[in-house]
Structure 1
Amino acid sequence: MKQPNIVVVGSINMDIVVKTSRFPEGGETILGDEIHFIPGGKGANQAVALARLGAQVTMIGAIGLDPFGRTLMTSMVDSGVNCDYIKIKGEASTGTASITLTPDENSIVVVPGANAKLDASDVQQVETLIHAADAVLLQLEVPLETVEYAAALAEKHGKIVILNPAPAQPLPESLLRRVHVITPNRTELEALTGITLGERPPEEAVDKLLESGVRCVVTTLGSEGSMWKCREGSLQRQSGYRMNVVDTTGAGDAFNAGLAYALCADRGIADAVSFAAKVSGLAVTKFGAQDGMPTMADVKTYFHE
């Protein structure tokens, strides 16, 4: 496979994870069991995953002028991500996700911080990088206007646009028409189409997205694997891999990275979805979103790629 050149436009967060036996009641103070500071953000996770697979990756995002920002930059650079174009927004803090984990459930509070300050002008400054890239990989943890502008620039230069529509929100057809591959999970597919899977055939929801202008829909289904359909094609399915699950955080980001890598390495959609499933499968066998991202050597060794 050739080395893909991919620009990732997206979020950079520090995940603050507290493990405890139960949630506190209102006004109550309890003792936690563990705390972890884990580099995260969907954009950063996907950039790190791509770099570990061997892609040439440039991250376009924003951090604050604080210790979290410096730590996150160092983590990405150490993984091989080009961070020269990350903006430092002095008026904002670095994005954070405060996550409380109990044995039964979790709660998450996200403070976007500098991620919310990433604007179209920041993307405009890297147009030459987009012109040189094979693809632009996008998510929805930065302002929608910024995502739309990045997609427009990618279209202008004839690049592949891959959109991971998370967190789910209504999307304009002007954006969807520029997307080559959209990668919703089950919940996001329902939110984007208004069709509840289970009550109506899943292909109906996929077709609705295709009718909006997207070229190909790849839907992740957790342990059930994934399904995909492109224009003029039929609905296809990819089985998931049975793995020793340690941490599912970042599994979707690993899938998106694997898919983008394979598509930019000139593999067909079926082959790309299969490769993405392998990358995602390996990612859940380790703790931490970015720390769990496999290398290409890991994929080749485990799956005999």
Structure 2
Amino acid sequence: VGRLGADSFADTLLGNLDAARVDCAFVTRVADVATGVALIAVDDAGQNAIVVAAGANMQLSPTDVDAAEPAIVAADVVLLQLESPIAAVKRAAEIARAHGATVVLNPAPAQPLAPDVLALVDVLIPNESETALLAGQTIDGPAAAEAAGRALRQMGVPTVVLTLGERGALLVHGDMVRRFPAFQIAPVDTTAAGDAFVAGLAVALAEARPLDEAVRWGNAAGALAAAQLGAQPSLPTRAALEAFLSEATLRPD
């Protein structure tokens, strides 16, 4: 569900999504605004800096989301992020929650979220900077990460998964706190690692896999993405993910 411009960038994106067998029935193209783009710089260590021109992304409206209600109602998991207006994100979460879907929110790019938005979220997956902003706490070590995760839980989110880059992930669910070490890879480009993590976790949840296993899927997807150059081209296939997991032995601490 989204908006694109009537330009060559949109043609490329839709072609890539079609090749990946993604249903784009609820993607709208508009003639007067450019497709959102990002300029990404990657250093020798594989770390990235991103400048975004949101373009048509910021025209997505609650009305667009309402038009996609049949797809949302049919979903087991609804995955949301903040590169579209909050009003549209909130509306999607409202529909999903009303029909029993699990709402997964990746609060990126980092921005404050009202309590009524957080109240609609079942699984929140922030990185360190997003966690620091939402929890109002500096993340300077394992103890601080755990404290921030608990603080987000106390805001009413049932499950919080903090992504910690090369240090893996931290799961906070109820009174349980569990650390998941990262899979060891040689990073080439970390641009899409967070997106891959969130996608892997969401797929596992949609298949009713346990939380531990879902976080492990996320970690594996993120590792595979970071080992490849590019954003879309680095996202792993299911076959690659399952092959990677079959050979991996890392379990939560």
TM-score under structure 2 length normalisation: 0.92
Tell me: CA distance 1:108–1:198, structure 2 relative to 1, closer, same or farther (3 Å). closer
1:158-186 deviations in whole A, cap 9, x for unaligned? Answer: 11000000111110111111101000011
Tell me which structure has the larger Cα radius of gyration. Answer: 1
Asked whether 1:297 is paired with 2:239, we answer yes
- Counterpart pick for 1:87 among 19, 24, 28: 28
1:291 aligned counterpart, secondary structure = helix
Whether 1:147 and 2:123 are equivalent positions in the alignment is: no
2:67 maps to 1:125: yes
User: In the TM superposition, what is the alpha-carbon distance from 1:109 to its structure 2 partner?
Assistant: 2.9
Does the 8 A contact of 1:195 with 1:205 survive in 2?
yes
Q: CA RMSD in A?
A: 1.7
Code of the residue aligned with 1:70 in structure 2: it is D
C-alpha separation in 2, matches of 1:167 and 1:190: 13
Structure 1 residues 111 and 151, CA, compared in 2 at 3 Å: closer, same or farther?
Answer: same
Question: Which among 1, 8, 13 is matched to residue 67 of structure 1?
Answer: 8
Structure with greater proportional helix content:
2
Q: CA deviation at 1:102?
A: 6.0
Deviation at 1:244, TM superposition (A): 2.3
Aligned to 2:192: 250
1:276 has 2:218 as partner: yes
Asked if 1:77 is matched to 2:18, the reply is yes
Q: Distance in 2 between matches of 1:209 and 1:102?
A: 32
1:228 paired to 2:168: no
Amino acid of the residue matched to residue 162 of structure 2? T
Deviations 1:74-127 (A, max 9, x none): 111111111121011212110111234565986543211100100100000011
What CA distance in whole angstroms lies between the structure 1 residues aligned with 2:129 and 2:145? 12
Matched with 2:151 is: 208
Work out the CA distance in 2 between the residues paired with 1:144 and 1:229. 25
Structure 2 CA distance for aligned equivalents of residues 119 and 234 of structure 1: 37
Cα displacement string for residues 232-278 of structure 1 (whole angstroms, at most 9, x for unaligned residues): x3211001011122211100000000000001111111111011111
Number of residue equivalences? 245
Identify unmatched segments of 5+ residues in structure 1: 1-59
- Give the Cα–Cα distance (whole angstroms) in 1 for the partners of residues 186 and 243 of structure 2: 16
Paired-residue identity, %: 40
Deviations 1:126-148 (A, max 9, x none): 11111111111000011011111
Higher relative contact order, structure no. (Cα contacts within 8 Å, ≥ 6 residues apart): 1
- Does structure 1 residue 181 correspond to structure 2 residue 135? no
Work out the CA distance in 1 between the residues paired with 2:159 and 2:108: 17
* Moved segments of 4+, more than 4 Å: 100-107
Q: Give unmatched runs, 5+ long, in structure 2.
A: 248-253
